[in-house]
Amino acid sequence: MQRRTVVLLSAAQVFGGIGTGATVSIGSILAVELSGSSAWAGAVATVMTLGAALAALPLASLADRRGRRAGQVTGLAAALAGAVLMVLAVVSGLFILLVLGAAGIGVGTAASLQARFAAVDLADAEHRGRALSAVVWAVTVGAVAGPNLIQPGTAVGEALGLPPVAGPFVIAGAGLLVANVLLFAGLRPDPLLLAREIAFREAGGGAQGKEQVLAAVQGHGSKGTATSGPARTPGQAVGPVKRGGGSLVRGLRAIRGSRTALLAVAAVVGAHAVMVGVMSMTPLHLQELVEGPGAGHAGHTASGDVLVIIGFTISLHIAGMFALSPVMGWLTDKAGRAQTIMIGFTLLITAVAVAGFGESSTGAVAVGLVLLGLGWSAATVSGSTLLAESVGQESRVVVQGVSDMLMGAAGAVGGAVSGLVLSWFGYLGLNLLGGVVGAAVLAAAFLTVMARRRQSAAA
C-alpha cells in the first residue's frame, strides 16, 4: 500500500505541476500588462503564495477529518478553476480575474505540498525522507514543462481561437483535470486513515494483522474475523484523535512543545521565503537585463526571445527544486535531518551570492536560480521529514497544515516585499536580504546539532 500510494501521488504531481510552472513563468509579466503598472509585478506570485497559505490549514483540517484524498481532490479542483480564470483573464484583459486565477492555483499548490506528507503516512522511519522526496521529485516533469509551454501553448491558443498567451493555461488546466481524476479514483484506501487504523489496532493489542486492518479501512472486513474497537462507518478516522481547541491552536501548541518541530518549521518557512522572494522578481530582472532599463514598465510587452530566456531560466530553477529531491531524501535519512537542513541553507546563501553579484549576466542569474532551487529542495525535504516525526499522531496532520500555512504566508510576504526591495535596492539588494534570512536559519540548525552532540557526549 505504501508503494502504491507513492506511485499514485507521484503521477498526480506530474500532471498537477504544469499549472504552477506556467503561472510562475509569465505571471509577473501578465500582471504588469493587465494592471498597467509595474508596481503590481509581484501580484501573481504574492496571491499564489497567499492562496496557498490561507488554504493550507483548511485543507489539512479536511484531511484530518476525512482523509488525504478529500484534501487533495479539493485543492486540485480549486487549481483547475484557477487555470480557467487565467484563460478568461487573458481573453477579457481583466486584472481581477488574473488575481482570482492565481489564488486558485495557490490552493492547488497547498494541496501539492501536502501530498509530500501523505507519502510518509505509511512509511517506515528509516525511509521517510526517501518516500517524501519521491513525491516532491515527481513535480519535476510537470513543473519544468510548464514554463516551456509558452511557445507550444501559443499554437494551442491560436488553434482554439484564443490569445496565444492563454494557450499555456489551457494545457495547465488539462493537466490538473487528469491529476484530479487520478486521485479521486485511485487514492483508496486512504493512507492517513489506514495509518491511523494500524496504529489504533496495535495500540489496542488486538490480534488482527495488516490484512484485516486493510479490509476494515476498505469497509469489508473478512467473514468470521473478530474486530476490536468501536463500531464505525467505512472511511471514518479510527481511534480517538484528541482535539483541544481549533486546528490552529492545536498546531501551534504542538510546535511550541517540540524543539525539533520549531527547527523544522523555521527551515521550511525560511527556505520558502528566500526562494519565492528571489524567484518571483527574476523574470522582471531578466527582461530589463536583456531589453534595457525600463523594459519591464507598464505597457511594454516582452519579446519572444526574452520569454524564451525567462522560461528556460525558471525551468532550470524548478529542476533544481525537484529533480534532485531523491538525493536530498537519501541525505536526510543517512546524514540526518538537521544536518541536511544546514546543507540546504548553505546552498541558499551561495545561490543569492551568485545571482546577486552576477546580476549583470543571464548565465550567472541562471546558475544562482539553480542553486536556489537545490537549497530549497534540501531544506524542504529534510525540514518536512523532521516535522512529520517531531509531534504525536493526534496532532500531526494539523501541525503539517500550520507549517504549510506559515510557509505560504512567508512566501506571500516575500513575493510582496520583493517588488519593493527590487525597486529600492536593486536585484543585488534583494538577494542580500535573502542571504540574511538564510544565515539566521543556518545558525539555528547549527546550534541544534551542537546541542544534540553535547547531550550524546554527556549520556
| 311 vs 334: which has the higher pLDDT | 334
What is the pLDDT at residue 228?
A: 36
| Average pLDDT along the chain | 82
Q: Is residue 204 part of a domain?
A: no
H helices, E strands: number in the chain: 16, 0
Cα radius of gyration (the chain):
22
Residue in 292, 294, 326, 375 with CA at minimum distance from that of residue 127: 326
Q: Is residue 429 part of a domain?
A: yes
Q: Which domain holds residue 363?
A: 2-191+246-458
Q: Is residue 278 part of a domain?
A: yes
Q: Is residue 303 part of a domain?
A: yes
Q: Per mean pLDDT, which range of 45-54, 201-210, 291-300 is the poorest? A: 291-300
Over residues 174-222, the pLDDT tens digits come to 889 999 999 999 998 899 999 888 888 877 655 455 555 555 444 433 3
Residue 351 belongs to a domain with what CATH number? Answer: 1.20.1250.20
Over residues 362-411, the pLDDT tens digits come to 889 999 999 999 999 999 999 999 998 888 777 889 999 999 899 878 87
Using 50, 70 and 90 to split pLDDT, how confident is the model at 284?
confident
**Number of structural domains in the chain:** 1
SS3 content of the chain, % helix, strand, coil (to 5): 80, 0, 20
| 245 vs 417: which has the higher pLDDT | 417
What is the pLDDT at residue 293?
A: 61
| pLDDT higher than 70, residue 259 | yes
| 308 vs 448: which has the higher pLDDT | 448
Q: Is residue 384 part of a domain?
A: yes
Residue in 177, 157, 159 with CA at minimum distance from that of residue 168: 157
For residues 178 and 306, give the distance between their C-alpha atoms in angstroms, rounded to a whole number. Answer: 31
What is the pLDDT at residue 303?
A: 53
Q: Is residue 389 part of a domain?
A: yes
Q: Is residue 218 part of a domain?
A: no
| pLDDT mean over 341-363 | 94
For residues 438 and 356, give the distance between their C-alpha atoms in angstroms, rounded to a whole number. Answer: 14
Using 50, 70 and 90 to split pLDDT, how confident is the model at 437?
very high
What is the pLDDT at residue 233?
A: 36
Over residues 126-136, the pLDDT tens digits come to 888 988 888 88
Decide: helix, strand or coil at residue 77.
helix
Over residues 427-436, the pLDDT tens digits come to 999 999 999 9
| pLDDT mean over 331-348 | 94
Over residues 76-107, the pLDDT tens digits come to 999 999 999 989 998 999 999 999 999 999 89
Q: Is residue 223 part of a domain?
A: no
| pLDDT higher than 90, residue 344 | yes
**Is the omega angle on the peptide bond into residue 189 within 30 degrees of 0, that is, cis?**
yes
Using 50, 70 and 90 to split pLDDT, how confident is the model at 455?
confident
